[in-house]
Chains A and B, each alone.
Chain A
Amino acid sequence: MEITLGTFLALGAILFGIGAIGFLVRRNVLVQLMSIELMLNAVNVVLVAVNRYHPDNHAGQVFAFFVIAVAAAEAAVGLAIVIGLFRLKNSISADDANLMKH
């Protein structure tokens, strides 16, 4: 079996799908944040693989670099919100985050 661009794209798609399922199914806000990280990482795999297929510039890798930076910022703000939710509700279940609903 030969490893081609398609193998990497399929791997990225599967990783993204696992992350999306985790985000939709789990009710733990922390695990949902981790699922978002999984999805961002899957996108990075695709970007780097496509960049390897067009090695005359580094656009894909630069894009992946920015995605990593934004993912780090997202994790910091997301975890701050989780702490705020926990102090308010004493729980980190997404079902308990209903202040805007009532």
Chain B
Amino acid sequence: MGTANFLLFGLCGFFALAGAVGTVASQRPLRAAVSLLVNIIALAGLYLTLSAHLLAAIQLLVYAGAVVVLFIFVIMLIGPAAEVKGTSEGLAGRTLAIAIMGMVTATIAFSLVDAAGNWYALQAHPEFGTVEALGAELYTRALVPFEIVSITLTIAIVGAVAIARHRTPAEITEAKAVHAKAVEVRDEAKAEAAAKATA
């Protein structure tokens, strides 16, 4: 394998892990979002070493361009309340969760790291992972899932709008008060106009 590939893997792997740890560990949500961005860009680099060029581009467009921006938008919308202060309550449960997940992850990682599979011996087809090859696959063998995904995305958009514009009871009461005031002002103006007309 080439040294360039090795270096790219080392760099991207390091930044992917650092970004993931930063996302989980940082107290401020904005820092977590930026760490997530670092993780995503590093993963796009990893896809390049795996000769998945179209997926690397999609990763950058969809994740870095849309999802992270959406996260940052919501953090800005919510403001200072976006920072949730950590509580000591449930400390034992959290320690247990970290311990169990850490052990499971370490076991899987150590058992997989020696798995055979040196693919640099097998040459990939020059068209492997290109827009052309993946697009052909997407529109022939994966056509039905592709259409289902488009329906899923439409439903998700409609659902997101329906959930986010829902009003709480307090907001409904406030809106009703404002509406009543507006009606009152309008009726007064009408009565005034009528009085003027008769005079």
- A interface with B by C-beta (< 8 Å): 2-11, 13-22, 24-28, 30-31, 33-35, 37-38, 41, 44-45, 48-49, 51-53, 55-59, 61-62, 64-66, 68-77, 79-84, 86-88, 90-93, 95
Contacts and interface: CB of A to CB of B under 8 A. Distances in A.
B21 A18 contact: yes
- Interface hub of A3, A10, A58 (most chain B Cβ within 10 A): A58
A80 B40 CA distance: 22
Range of interface residues on chain B?
A: 35 or more
5 contacts: A15-B16, A41-B40, A65-B55, A69-B153, A92-B84
Contact of B145 (A26, A31, A66): A66
Contact of B50 (A8, A20, A21, A56): A8
Interface of B: 1, 5-6, 9, 13, 16-17, 20-21, 23-24, 29, 32-33, 36, 39-40, 43, 46-47, 50-52, 54-55, 58-59, 62-63, 66-67, 70-71, 74-75, 77-78, 81-84, 86-87, 89, 94, 97-98, 101-102, 104-106, 108-110, 112-119, 122, 124-125, 128-129, 133-134, 137-138, 141-142, 145-146, 149, 152-153, 155-157, 159-161, 163-164, 166, 168, 171
Given A48-B52, A52-B119, A72-B62, A83 B74 contact: yes
B84 A84 contact: no
A12 to B, nearest CB: 8
Contacts of A13: 105, 108-109, 112
Contacts of B104: 17
Contacts of A92: 78, 81-82, 84
Given A6-B115, A48-B50, A79 B23 contact: no
A49 B74 CA distance: 33
Q: Which 10 A-B pairs have the closest CB atoms?
A: A17-B105, A5-B117, A22-B24, A73-B156, A6-B115, A24-B97, A80-B160, A10-B113, A9-B112, A28-B84
B24 A4 contact: no
Given A17-B102, A21-B98, A45-B43, A66 B149 contact: yes
Contacts of B116: 4-6
Contacts of B157: 76
Contacts of B1: 2-3
Given A30-B82, A68-B59, A83-B77, A77 B156 contact: yes
Contact of B115 (A9, A37, A71): A9
A49 B66 CA distance: 24
Contacts of B171: 87
A21 B110 CA distance: 18
Contacts of B124: 52, 55
